[in-house]
Structure 1
Amino acid sequence: MIEYLSRSKQHTELYLTQFGIEECIPSHFFGPAIRSHFLLHYILDGEGIFEVDGNKYRLQKGQGFLICPAVITYYQADSKSPWSYCWFGFDGTLAELLLKQAGLTRVCPILNCGKDDMIYKYLKLMAESNGNHKTRESRLIGLLYLLLSLLAEYGPVTPIEQQESRAEIYVEKVKEIVETTFAQKITIEDIARIIGLNRSYLCSLFKQQMNTSIQDYLIRIRVQKACEMMGNVELTIGDISRSVGYNDPLLFSKIFKKIKGVSPKHYRAETH
């Protein structure tokens, strides 16, 4: 059983490209070849080999292997006890980070989970969602998140990787909050409270990762959104100002000019 899926236009952060299950014949192989997305195989029974970057791994039931995009790999079922496996193909801006939380990277591509009952359950739920046309895409992505969270729960993560992953997650949360609440009177204290971290610690993390402060990032997002609104002739500068979180048009104009070098009025005249 295999199903291929069209690329999601709405969910760019994480989406499925395919999933399936196969009982391989003895010595069945694939490659050497590359893939355009992440592909995670989980062995339900039997054994085989997986080769990547000059390394050869002999794997069996309860283990799995990750294929990263644009990386040459080769895998082959055992001649006497060929494996059967299920697989999940996926991609998106968060895919690499979520895999890293589970300890899975190009350098560490082997999965040791032993949760084949749950992994197979998610595969079945994906297949059974076929009749839910209106909600299927969201349901599949939800199941993929559950699968990756399961792997993160049981996968080994070194303290260094864990620290790096947490920092990246916090930064992504800040960016997500800013980009969804920029029109409101959101403060750094509000953002820290939503995430559940100390304000100073969060600001330090963000500065290290992004080389800018949260406040400056918020301002630049607001100005960026304002620029996007300039093309709508029905909106006055005051309308745009309020739409990006500034009730005072004069303050908005001052901040806009500091970032763009010209006033909002002149920017609109020059670009639209």
Structure 2
Amino acid sequence: MKVAFIGTGSMGSLLIEAFLRSGALYPHNLHVSNRSKSKAEMLALRHPGLHVAASNAEAALGSDIVFICVKPHHFPEVIAEIRSVLLETQLLISITSPVLISVLEEQVPAKIAKIIPSITHSVHSGASLCIYGERVQPEDRLLLEQLMSSISRPTPIKESETRIASDISSCGPAFVSFIVQQWAKAAAQMTGISMPEALSLSAEMLLGTGRLLTEGGLTPEQLQRRVAVPGGVTAEGLAILEERLEGVFLSLIEATQRKHEADLAKLAALFDAVKPAANSSVSPDHGDLESDRPEML
């Protein structure tokens, strides 16, 4: 199976490394391209056998699965470059939430899916959000979810749920780590514990709490009741959190939703600028990939 990765930045390289460590893919399966070719070549040095393509179109040509791992505003240019080499049998995967499946289906003949990953996949953990276009068949879903299960827990969702689900699964590690950082900083300032020690304890606590909420089968309410004795220290702390955090997460969701809506509007305008002409076909033309080649992204 040939798998292409267009974009080897932070998330693209994370996914490539995670798939290779899991054994789900091997270097010879992978064809990668990147605007800065040196980044792709560094991956190839670490993983002999990995193919560095001369262009995005070359990477996509003949690949069974094409992951596009670039920033949202680069998508229209990448799609414009690879459109002519894509086939109806190929799977094109977006890993960014603002790029709508319906927009990509208008642009290319390939089968479209959206998979929103998380930094937690680097340790083969966390949920990967899976959203499928109308052309995706059951066997395609099975293939993608088997691949993602090697590094995560694939979780099918509706595209309308993408933003809020991403807030939790993809943005969540940053949000939670910020809370842990502030908690550890306060502990170090007010007591004799060191910051590294407080962070280490917090990390172990998070790991164990996650397992209690998954493998342990506890709900958040049950977990709180198990720990918080009425009138005890934990109950006092929970009362402070309930008082001070009221409305915080509603504000967080409102902020991320506003940014998402703004990104959708910007991308719609960018895609309109590179939309195929009405009288042209999106059927592939495997001509000379080296002629009139736009800059890689």
User: Could you say which structure has the greater relative contact order, defined with CA pairs below 8 angstroms and 6 or more residues apart?
Assistant: 2
Higher share of residues assigned helix? 2
Higher share of residues assigned strand? 1
Q: Rg larger in 1 or in 2?
A: 1
TM-score between the two structures when normalised by the length of structure 2: 0.24
TM-score between the two structures when normalised by the length of structure 1: 0.25
